[in-house]
Amino acid sequence: MPQIRVAVAGAGIAGLAFALALRRAGIDCHLYEQAERLAEVGAGVQVTPNATRLLHRLGLEDRLRAVAVAPRAIEMRRWDDGGLLQRTELGGPCRRRFGAPYYTVHRADLHDALLSLVPADRVHLGARLVSVTQSAGEARLHLSDGTTVAADLVVGADGIRSVARERIAADRPRYSGQTIYRGLVPADRVPFLAADPRVRLWLGPDQHCVCYPVSSGRQVSFGATVSSSHWREESWSAPGDPAELAAAYAAWHPDVTRLFTAAETVGRWALHDRDSLGRLSAGRVAVIGDAAHPMLPFQAQGANQAIEDAVVLAACLADAGPDGLGAALLRYERIRLPRTTRIQQQSRANATTFHLADGDEQRRRDASTQASPGLERHEWLFGYDAEQATTTSRS
């Protein structure tokens, strides 16, 4: 069978995971990344069992175990008095139920682990994508330096402002009205949060805070949302004002305020998503990750769904020569769209659910949350095996 020529726009988590999945399937690819050097920034990411099982199969189990933290539980608490709304056990119960761990990891560590398994000569830096064109026989990446790259398939892993997505939909990112402050604090400055590793969320009127340990427990990563009508900066490296963050959460539980006091610097990021697409490909162009379904971080699934996309698309391409691309891409869409659409919508709904003002609606939410604390309510999300779904779709 002739080798499929695959060109990938973007060398973030989605692009690198896709490259590894393709290599496992015996398909080569080249990645074109606009950054001059690869230095994944940001703070923490929660890697849930639906993605860790796939990363383990791609060869990252030992690397992840060396840098990640396996939290004992997820706790949801009230914003003011810290009252416990829900505790979901993780650790051993999670691994036994789903066959894979729940990890919290620094985004840079996850990125480095993926990058370490991709041949260096397959990653081209300083290659900013300007446009994608295609004909009946091939697709082409047009880069800012005038270079044109021809391939049988172009895969856009180029984020929420994807250039590749423009071949599929004429839409734009939607501002949520929320910004998020992100930061990292040395664990020894917040021993009350670091000693017993947990994912902690405090829910309150118009905002919420989440924190968890990363970097083998050496740091605590946090994200704290604030409503804003004017902040539109969308960069991992955009600085935030620690004093403004502290003022926004001044009346919150002492664990929250002490966490922010320990942070010397913070970043601030405007939260955008896009409406769900009715398709994930057009001709010889497909999209994965944030280019396909950018979602708000209120379900902690952005990176996890990118990894699922990568594995499923690679599996669909494994049996397809250049003449079978159309069927492979339709199969990819059929598998992925129902799931990613559901998670996108749930993430958007949580932007309201997490931020209810104190009152009747908030009390109903809390009662419902307290009534369903177990891992079983996560079965549809954490128990999903993307590779198994791909195999089932073939039969």
Whole-angstrom distance, CA of residue 255 vs CA of residue 190: 9
SS3 36: coil
For residue 87, what are its two tokens? 């505790």
For residue 62, what are its two tokens? 């030992």
Which of the 8 DSSP states describes residue 145?
T
The residue type at 120: A
Which candidate, 45, 60, 31, 90, places its Cα nearest to that of 306? Answer: 45
Whole-angstrom distance, CA of residue 211 vs CA of residue 319: 42
**Catalytic sites, residue numbers:** 212
CB of 217 closer than 8 Å to CB of 194 = yes
DSSP letters spanning 62-85: HHHHHH-B--SEEEEEETTT--EE
Q: How far is CA 185 from CA 124, 222, 383, in A?
A: 33, 8, 32
